[in-house]
Amino acid sequence: MTASWWWAIRTSMRRGPAVAAFAVTLVVSTLHVVLRATWWRYEWHWAWYQYHFGTILLGPVVAGIAYDWGAVLHRSRPVLEAAGRVWAALSAAGAALILAVLTAYLLVLGGVSVVVGRTTGLGPDAATFATLAPPVALLIACIAVGSAVGFRVGSRGLAPVWAIITFAFLMAGYMVFPARFTKVGGATASLVGIRTRPQVQVGQVALFLGVTLFVVGLASLPRRSNGAQSMAAIGLALGLGGFGFLLAQPKNEFRPRDFALTCVGEAPRICLEPGWVAAEPDIREPLARYDRSLAAAGLPRVEIYAQRWPSRGNERWLDAVSVLRYSKDGPEDGLVVNQYLPDECWKAWDDGVSAAVTTLESYLARAWEADGRLKVSDAERASLQQAVRTIQACRN
């Protein structure tokens, strides 16, 4: 890299859009974190992967900023083309933006990591670190392509239009195309027991960087291109290779993983992924309250709740997020009723099953409020036990 190239980067950082890109990234990424539920704080992988979903908003914004800076460089296009310096100018402007955006992006991710580390007392694994590569490559592509298109088009007023086009493309990637092509983050539920596939991450990085090299190479093609043709060819090959590699991968971007559970307490025994152990007291409170309700009526009780699927032996699957989210202010009836319902009961659901569920839910609501102080008559006990038998017998 020449001294003039580094000078161009320093100038962009001080006087160009890099400062604005840094501030926007900081604001957008922070809002994405603070305006969403924070159940991810018990899981490193979920926390990072959910954070990366913010690129669907951040990518278009920085693409618009990059487009505007490219349009500014358009004024010098004749001189740059005559001197064969298009690639140098675009790469310097793009590098300044990339440095600013990634610095802010990593700062906020560092804040997220502090929260998870303090909550769990654990550190991230290699699979969690690997989730960072695709969103970084995607942001680089958004900036590089935006700069190149702005340089070619030259109209600064179209920067918002380019941001909207980028957003539409990323949304289509999430909603229309298979997730493994452009989905670099986003999970509304726990990722305990699964991890993102490394093959998908490699393919995404190749695809995004290939697009970057191809578009910037095309933008640098006019005379005295200084290798622009080679860059475009390499980018095309890399992008097509990444696309083909992703096409050959399974549709699901996640893979199962083996992990150990930490089991705590009795009546019921609760087995959690290590990061979730910090939440055990809050999880136990509603589960133990239901256990007392079931014991008072002589109903079958759950001995072990385990945070894994499929369950083993006499375990019952535990959705820790649902327990924490819905059981604070009242009975989450499905938490108990679903333990008794056979998997295929929905195919044979009838008025008898519906009445049995209503009977059990009504009792659970009253027992929840009384919290072990509810007196259950023999007649009601017999009615509740019959309701449970009816629910358990629900088969196709």
Last residue of a domain, one of 227, 256, 285: 256
Question: Domain span at residue 196?
Answer: 3-256
Q: Do 150 and 225 fall into the same domain?
A: yes
Instruction: Give whichever of 131-145, 185-199, 225-239, 359-373 has the largest mean pLDDT.
Output: 131-145
Burial class of 200 by CB neighbour count within 10 A (0 to 12, 13 to 18, 19+): buried
Q: Do 266 and 241 fall into the same domain?
A: no
Q: Do 223 and 301 fall into the same domain?
A: no
Cα–Cα distance measured from residue 50 to residue 44, given in angstroms and rounded to the nearest whole number: 10
Mean pLDDT of 46-51: 95
**pLDDT higher than threshold 70 for residue 8:** no
**63 with 211: CB under 8 angstroms?**
no
Q: Do 312 and 237 fall into the same domain?
A: no
Q: Do 7 and 124 fall into the same domain?
A: yes
Q: How many domains does the chain have?
A: 2
pLDDT of residue 79: 62
Q: Do 42 and 14 fall into the same domain?
A: yes
Lowest mean pLDDT among 103-117, 267-281, 370-384: 370-384
Q: Do 281 and 359 fall into the same domain?
A: yes
pTM comes to 0.86
**92 with 12: CB under 8 angstroms?**
yes
pLDDT of residue 203: 95
pLDDT of residue 116: 96
**pLDDT higher than threshold 90 for residue 117:** yes
**Cβ neighbours of 187 (radius 10 Å):** 19
Q: Do 56 and 153 fall into the same domain?
A: yes
Last residue of a domain, one of 222, 256, 290: 256
Q: Do 89 and 233 fall into the same domain?
A: yes
Last residue of a domain, one of 256, 291, 323: 256
Higher pLDDT, 246 or 221: 246
